[in-house]
Structure 1
Amino acid sequence: MHIIMITPAPEGSRAGNRATALRWQALLQDSGHRVEVKTDYRGEPCDLFIGLHAWRSHSAIKTFYQCWPFRPLIVALTGTDLYRYQHDDPEPTHESMELADALIGLHDKVGNDIPSGCRDRLVTLRQSAPVPPEKWSPGPPGNDFSACVIGHLRSEKDSLRAAKAALLLPADSRVRIVNAGKPHDERWSALVRQEQAENPRFSWLGELSGEETQNLMVASSLMVISSLMEGGANVVSEACRAGVPILASDIPGNRGLLGDDYKGYFPAGDEQALARLLRKAETDAEFLAALASQVTRLAPGFSPERERASLEQALNLAIGNCAKRRKAASPSTK
């Protein structure tokens, strides 16, 4: 099929939506489809349309539906769709969901967080990551205990929470926080530079390439994902495939990937609880090994083959539901 995929993230961006769009483009093209990734849509014909982000891509989604009402439409739901915009600006967000023949959710608990009438059109897709050439292994006991924080610096990610938690640790702690990501705006740029100047346990590397990010992850003692909202962060997939232990905020987007029995959760925004977990991971080798074992067991669920199969499931669901709509709209014949 000829597929058009819309994403709000511009070409050249390392934002999650752009990375997702390019990965899906490659996976779908491997399956024989022709896929165009666009940031602007003006009614061009295609066999199937995928809109990443219900709220940000609402205009494009509505344009496609108005121009081609009986061609299949898929909407992929992001964290801000689920946990911000469907509450703060519900009309366009929910309209995008309602127009879709299939919805893609990126973690196992998305069905709990969307209108009940949309749940039968939901496909759960776990974003994939490659197995890195080198996998995580615990560092020598005498070295710094480094915790990486990877992702754009912005409020939704609560990006400096780990840095604040590290300051609560005792003087003999070896914990160091290493942050890699691009500031969302000038405010975040000022905040991260101030933190680096004032916090001896914190360093900021700026935005890294994919290979540099992977190298940072496997060289770290663990990864912290402190987000206040997540649609299903690809960095979790990457850590699991690399065997990197994770300390994660206790939110649906993390529980929906790591499972309810994961041992490394802390209450979102609670730096004291995070400090306690950092100290436990630093001083309790069995706890750190248990986290590593849990993420390693989860790793097969984040394979490209699984993600490609989920994409094809979404395509088939959208095509089937679109055909039902078309039949229901046709004049009945005897």
Structure 2
Amino acid sequence: MKKHIEIVTPAAPGTLHGNRITALRWQKFLSRLKFQTTVTEKWSGKPCDALIALHGLRSHDSINKFKKSYPHHPVILIMTGTDIYRDLKDAPQVTKSMKMADAIVILQPSAMDSLPRQFHHKVRVIYQSVKSITRKTPPKRHFLASIIGHLRPEKDPFCAAESLQSLPKNSKIKLVQLGEAMSPDFKKQARAMEKTSPRYQWLGKLGHAKTLQWLSRSHVMIISSIMEGGAHVVSEAIAIGVPVIASDIPGNRGLLGEKYPAYYPVGDSKALSKMLTQAETNPAFYQKLSKAIAFRKKITRPELELQSIQKLVKGLV
């Protein structure tokens, strides 16, 4: 009889939040490893051989109830960026979730530096993988930059749009922003920016396949986040081979590497503008970015994530 694993993610079905995408990808891998799986928003209360929970704060109740009902059944906690870089300081539930967990998964190695030392023995780094996607030919008439992610404060969603104001007049950079506005104010701001900047277009929420089409034909992708556990869209850009211009935060450094040549200070739209101009006008710099991205491609291989999940789960279940 197949072992049953329940995966809990607070991200609702049909959303494109990173937590939901991670849960569904783990479900596919676990099915390949011959486990029976269910994805829920909170623990169903039904018996299962193990619980995998994304988000130490928002899944705390599920972890707590499961451990009280099945104290000897393992819990795997997959920690998110908000867990590690925001809630760990202020919400005791995150630490309690880490105590109850039998294993803790982080999505890039830099996150380890922010976790309490007492939990380090439980921690495993499992990089997020991406199915092979062919890179499309970027447009010839302009230099296409994309920024992908729901518009919410953690993403610093308008730093990239603001950087357009500092570009040289002869620049051919165009910025396409994809992602749902998570507040009416953000929606209003995106619409206002479209009216004032001919270089900027906000496409709102698109399906995953269409989003990848835009990414695969971009000259560069921008990730402007203030905090990230390890953004899946960065892994997608690496897998496709699209150079990334990234805010200088641990979550980006953990995926792109300490020596990656295109970090800018968080929130600094002028520094981002200079880096975009360099990518557009300096072929040697652009080639350097392309090579640095190609060097990281190995961490996004599905076989690596499958092997890592197999080793973790088989050791616990």
Q: Which residue is equivalent to 2:106?
A: 105
Tell me how far apart the structure 2 counterparts of residues 159 and 93 of structure 1 sit (CA, whole Å): 26
Alignment partner, residue 191 of structure 1:
189
Partner residue, 1:126:
127
Helix, strand or coil: the match of 1:109?
Answer: helix
CA-to-partner distance for each residue in 1:195-218, whole Å, 9 max, x for gaps? Answer: 112222210111111221111012
What residue is the counterpart of 1:331 in the other structure? none
Determine the C-alpha separation between the residues in 2 that align with 1:151 and 1:261. 25
CA distance in 2: counterparts of 1:197 and 1:138, whole angstroms = 25
Match of 1:296 among 290, 294, 297: 294
> What root-mean-square deviation, in Å, do the aligned CA atoms of Structure 1 and Structure 2 show?
1.2
- Alignment counterpart, residue 64 of structure 1, candidates 62, 66, 74: 66
Local SS of the residue matching 2:119: helix
Which of residues 38, 62, 78 in structure 2 aligns to 1:36? Answer: 38
Partner-residue secondary structure (3-state), 1:306: helix
| Cα deviation, residue 256, structure 1 | 0.4
Aligned to 1:135: 135
Contact 2:8 2:43 in 1 (8 A): yes
Quickly say closer, same or farther: Cα 1:26–1:42, change in 2 above 3 A: closer
1:152 aligns with 2:153: no
Cα deviation, residue 317, structure 1: 4.5
Residue number in structure 1 paired with 2:279: 281
Which of 50, 53, 57 in structure 1 is aligned with 2:52? 50
Residues of 2 paired with 1:221 and 1:31: CA distance?
37
In the other structure, the counterpart of 1:326 is none
**Contact 2:177–2:201 (Cα < 8 Å) also in 1:** yes
Contact 2:77 2:104 in 1 (8 A): yes
Q: How many angstroms does 1:121 deviate by?
A: 0.6
Identity of aligned residues (%): 38
Displacement, 1:108? 1.2
State the partner residue of 1:212: 210
The amino acid of 1:205's aligned partner reads L
Which 4+ stretches in 1 moved above 4 angstroms?
A: 136-139
- Aligned-partner SS, 1:82: helix
Counterpart position of 2:29: 27
SS in 2 for 1:205: strand
Amino acid in the other structure paired with 1:216: W
Equivalent-residue separation in structure 2 for 1:193 and 1:58 (angstroms)? 37
Q: What TM-score comes out, normalization by structure 2 length?
A: 0.96
Give the C-alpha shift of residue 43 in structure 1: 2.6
Q: How does 1:171-250 map to 2 (within 5 A)?
A: 171-250=169-248
* Deviation, structure 1 residue 138: 5.7
Task: State how far apart, in whole Å, the 1-side matches of 2:216 and 2:286 are.
Answer: 14
Q: Distance in 1 between matches of 2:27 and 2:233?
A: 19
TM-score between the two structures when normalised by the length of structure 1 = 0.92
> CA separation in 1, counterparts of 2:100 and 2:109?
22
1:166 to partner: Cα distance: 1.1
